[in-house]
Structure 1
Amino acid sequence: MKLLRYGDAGSERPGLIDADGTIRDLSAHVADIAGTTLHPASLDMLSKLDAKSLPAVSGSPRIGACVAGTGKFICIGLNYSDHAAETGATVPPEPIIFMKASSAIVGPDDDVLIPRGSVKTDWEVELGVVIGKTAKYVSEAEAFDYVAGYCVSHDVSERAFQAERQGQWTKGKSCDTFGPIGPWLVTKDEVKDPQNLPMWLKVNGKTMQNGSTKTMVYGVAYLVSYLSQFMSLHPGDIISTGTPPGVGLGMKPPVFLKAGDVVELGIEGMGTQKQTFRADV
């Protein structure tokens, strides 16, 4: 299934995409795409619905973040071997973990605000993993039992805040609107191999990133298991798994985003995003 949330910000309704690409309303069956809705039993119930019998949504509503109620937005740094190479970094012996504030989450086509004082706002297309049930001390072999599905995640970053302002990376990753998610939560049964997904990103129509999850150093199952050794993962938590090469920081000379720039990105089978970047005044 392709699950989504549509409507004005703060008033989104749950829905799914039918085989013809029509949005169908799920409000009679679940309150939101969040919490217990992400549990395997609930997803199984939704998968058995006759999509054509659900109310069709008219017009072209705003699409919100595909998951609500995210408690933890966990990111993995330098998790693509080719991206590590372009930044001059060595592949880490264990995953680099940092947190992105959940308040950064917005819809896939919402405007992104360049924060005050920013001089190095950058782009990163990533595969997002959405947790479906509580995971604690799980093995790699059983990790997928705890995954509800996947989505496109745009890990927008302010490199000066991230690396030049002391401390950890979080403040360069957590600015308001720096976490577009969606358009869909694609349930795991529709994704044959999460380690073989082409992904791309364009800035003002020019392709900047053209990679694949094939080059991830630490795969989805490993990351779910690894993270669960340090913290419980809860339904709605998102793991943003790293980015392929082609970020602005890796250009020679580096290239960063400015007000008016348009960024488009997508992952095969996951849908696409499109954001206009604007100054946060």
Structure 2
Amino acid sequence: MSLNVLHYKHQGRAQWGVVRKGIVTPIPGEFETTADFIRMNHIETLSALTGPAIPESEVEWLSPVTRNQQFVCQGANYRQHMIESGMDPDAKTFNMIFTKATSCVVPADSPVVRPQEVRFLDYEIELGLVMKRDITSRQSITDANLHEYIAGAVIVNDYSARDIQIPQMQFYKGKSYRTFGPVGPYLCLLESRDIPTLRRLDLTLTVNGAVRQNDSTANLVYGPAETLTELSGVHDLYVGDLLSTGTPSGCALSVPSPGKQKIAALLPEAVKWRMFMNVQAGRSQYLKAGDLVEARIASPDGLIDLGVQRNRIVGEAA
């Protein structure tokens, strides 16, 4: 059975603990990185852990993915999100991969800072998968052996500055501002029997209590096994690294249809991007200071529950 683990700070000390019904049981040992924690702990042992406990309300959340780990992402990995991103899902036959700067990783309850130069700040709830073993050569990864490669799951919110990402064609830059990568609160460790549930988790994101995104991982276009197989032929992945699997539809971003994009391609660059910016300016869904974004991922039966992220949007200090 899956097990939620929290990386936290208590009495000035960073620790890891098992979380059950709002109570944290500290895990003995010092583990500075996610990789250290995963290598030195096994779900079977942690499931039997007992001892003194701390109310979760008395600890400070830390990210369960530490900043030394790689942050690899999939883009446009739900059919409806492809459409709202201006892509033709029947023509896009490739897995879009990019990375975020690890300096954007923050705890799940951190404020998200909207930089002064960013007008169009968007949200993207995503299922994150944390690596269990190194991949340094081409591998054939299937649903049957995926449990050998995935240690657990986390909530990720891939905050994005659309006016940087799209006109400048800068995924890395537009998605890597500091605080743009909250992770957690929990690292949900998985047993082999839990792996099939990764394809039937419900994702829900609200802004000020109103639902903006609501979908199931059943609708992922490229699943974890085929994605890791592809990535294994490209570059090395290591224990504790994070793969964020893409976001459903419902983002603030509005992009013209493929047909309109073909027409826009004939326009001068300045005109094309001025039109894009004017369209985005009419979108009230973009985040502003004071907004509260909440993200939840859980299985319908509640056996896997990754907790709730809560991020208040704040303006960058002058």
Same fold, TM exceeding 0.5? Answer: yes
Matched residue SS, 1:272 = strand
Give the deviation of 1:171 after TM superposition.
0.4
Q: Which residue of the partner structure matches residue 260 of structure 1? A: 290
Equivalent pair of 1:5/1:33 in contact (CA under 8 Å) = no
CA contact (8 A) 2:9 2:60 kept: yes
Larger mean CA deviation between 28-37 and 240-249 belongs to: 28-37
Matched, 1:203 2:217: no
Q: In the TM superposition, what whole-angstrom CA distance separates every residue of 1:209-258 from its partner, at most 9, and x where no partner exists?
A: 01111111100111122111111110111011000010011498532111
2:224 matched residue in structure 1: 220
For the residue of structure 2 that corresponds to 1:193, the secondary structure is: helix
| Superposition deviation, residue 35 in structure 1 | 1.3
* Displacement of 1:32: 4.4
Aligned letter for 2:29? Answer: H
Larger radius of gyration: 2
Quote the Cα distance in structure 2 between the aligned partners of 1:31 and 1:86. Answer: 42
Query: 1:261 corresponds to which letter in structure 2?
Result: D
Aligned: 1:55 with 2:55: no
Contact 1:209 1:244 in 2 (8 A): yes
Q: What residue in structure 2 maps to residue 16 of structure 1?
A: 18
Q: Is the 8 A contact 1:38 1:133 kept in 2?
A: no
Tell me which residue corresponds to 2:248: 244
Q: How does 1:30-109 map to 2 (within 5 A)?
A: 30-32=30-32, 34-39=34-39, 42-44=41-43, 46-47=45-46, 49-50=48-49, 53-58=50-55, 59-91=57-89, 92-109=92-109
Q: Give the aligned partner of residue 5 of structure 2.
A: 3
SS of equivalent residue, structure 2 residue 290: coil
Structure-2 residue corresponding to 1:276: 312
In the alignment, the residues of structure 2 paired with residue 45 and residue 29 of structure 1 have an alpha-carbon distance, to the nearest angstrom, of 17
Kindly tell me: are residues 60 and 225 of structure 1, through their superposed partners in 2, closer, same or farther at Cα, counting changes over 3 Å?
same
Helix, strand or coil at the partner of 1:12: strand
Structure having the higher helix fraction is 2
In structure 1, C-alpha distance between the alignment counterparts of 2:26 and 2:166, rounded to whole Å: 43
Which residue of structure 2 lines up, in the alignment, with residue 163 of structure 1?
166
Superposition TM-score, scaled by structure 2 size: 0.81
Distance 1:119 1:48, change over 3 A: closer
For structure 1, the residue ranges without an aligned partner over 5 or more in a row are none
Corresponding residue for residue 154 of structure 1? 157
1:96 positional shift: 0.7
The 2-side partners of 1:55 and 1:49 are apart by 13
Note the alpha carbon deviations across 1:72-96, whole angstroms, 9 max, x for none: 1011110101111122212331211
Aligned 8 A contact 2:146 2:195 in 1: no
For 1:161, give the aligned amino acid.
Answer: I
Rounded to whole Å, the distance in 1 between the matches of 2:72 and 2:245 is: 8
Residue identity in the other structure for 2:310: K
In the aligned structure 1, how far is the partner of 2:67 from the partner of 2:59?
A: 21
Aligned residues: 274
Indicate how the Cα distance of structure 1 residues 219 and 116 shifts in structure 2: closer, same or farther if over 3 A, else same. same
- Report the secondary structure of 2:45's partner residue: helix
Alignment RMSD: 2.0
Matches within 5 A, 1:154-193: 154-165=157-168, 167-189=169-191, 190-193=194-197
Letter in 2 for 1:249: L
How far apart, in 2, do the equivalents of 1:100 and 1:179 lie? 8
Task: Tell me if the contact between 2:292 and 2:313 (Cα under 8 Å) persists in the aligned partners.
Answer: yes
CA shift digits 1:15-68 (9 cap, x unpaired): 1113x3311111x234246113213x7324633533xx2321244322111122
